[in-house]
Amino acid sequence: MHIILQNILYIPNAAVRLISVSMLACDSQAIAHFDKASCWITNKSTGGIIARGSLLPTKNLYTLNLLSPHAEHTFTISHAPDIATWHRRLGHANYQAVREMAKNGLIPGMPTNFPLANPPKCEFCVLGKQMKTSVPKMRKEGLGHKATRVLEKVWVDLSGQHLRSRMGNEYVMDIIDDFTSQLWSIPLKNKDDSFPELKAWQLAHESETSQKIGTYITDQGELKCNKMEEWLKSHGIEQRFTAPYTSAHIGRIEHMH
């Protein structure tokens, strides 16, 4: 009878060979038995003994006697590691770099060449290099849903420092009402003027529409300050920030810029 172990690491030059009992159990025809001093493997169908072994007290391991009459021969089969295997072994090195190492014989035991066909994509490399999740193409219910009234959601962002106007303004604060898509562009001489100008805009348009601001959506720039936070808390207004370095999260304003 043959015992076939799957998904194991075979090391030809290893002085000690370890057999996992759980992997041995995957062979439905073999059953492992243990007592205080010995172990033995039997055929599940016939009950015949395939191999015997004894306990090594100093190492708390059981050793199989492969030279016994019950196990006269031992055969091994191994799979040569391909470029994908070496890619993982070398800390997910670039495939071209692995081929160069093989070509120059830099690593003992590595084949001198690999097939030129492109190996399968490494899922871990894709996830590791992914900087951010994709932005949904459609606005669905939840945090990204469209406003249902005027001033429920207001998008705010700054742009500028490209050139100075005749009045000395270098920046523009763009404001968009999510419900009506109406745009306001307020010129600013300095970025520090953004909060006072936004506060004045809010008071004017709340009075004009008889509606209260629900949420401001901004990036984590000039409008993320203690004065802004205190003002919003006193008026029961939420300020929602976009993810850092993710301009797509505030795309409505970016398109206006």
pLDDT digits 0-9 by tens, 18-58: 887 877 777 667 888 999 889 988 888 888 888 888 888 88
Specify whether domain 153-256 bears CATH 2.30.30.170: no
**Cα end-to-end distance, the chain, whole Å:** 76
* pLDDT for residue 110 is more than 90: no
- Dihedral of alpha carbons 9, 12, 13, 19, sign: positive
Identity at 129, one-letter amino acid code = K
pLDDT-based confidence at residue 142 (cuts at 50, 70, 90): low
In the predicted model, what is the mean pLDDT of the chain? 82
- Give the CB-side neighbour count of residue 69, counting CA atoms within 13 A: 1
Q: What is the mean pLDDT of residues 79-103?
A: 86
Name the residue among 231, 204, 241, 219 with its Cα closest to residue 174. Answer: 219
> What are the pLDDT digits (tens) for 150-174?
999 999 999 887 788 888 889 999 9
pLDDT of 137: 66
Distances in whole angstroms, Cα of residue 62 to Cα of each of 9, 81, 176: 19, 30, 74
Q: Identify the residue with better confidence: 160 or 241.
A: 241
| 183-188 β-sheet, strand order | 183-188, 171-177, 153-160, 215-218, 238-241
Centre a 10 Å sphere on the Cβ of residue 214 and count the other Cβ atoms it contains: 18
Pair of tokens at residue 16: 């000690």
For the chain, what's the residue count?
257
* pLDDT for residue 12 is more than 60: yes
For 107, phi and psi rounded to 5 degrees? -120, 120
pTM: 0.47
pLDDT of 71: 45
Give me the residue spans of the domains in the chain. 1-79, 80-115, 153-256
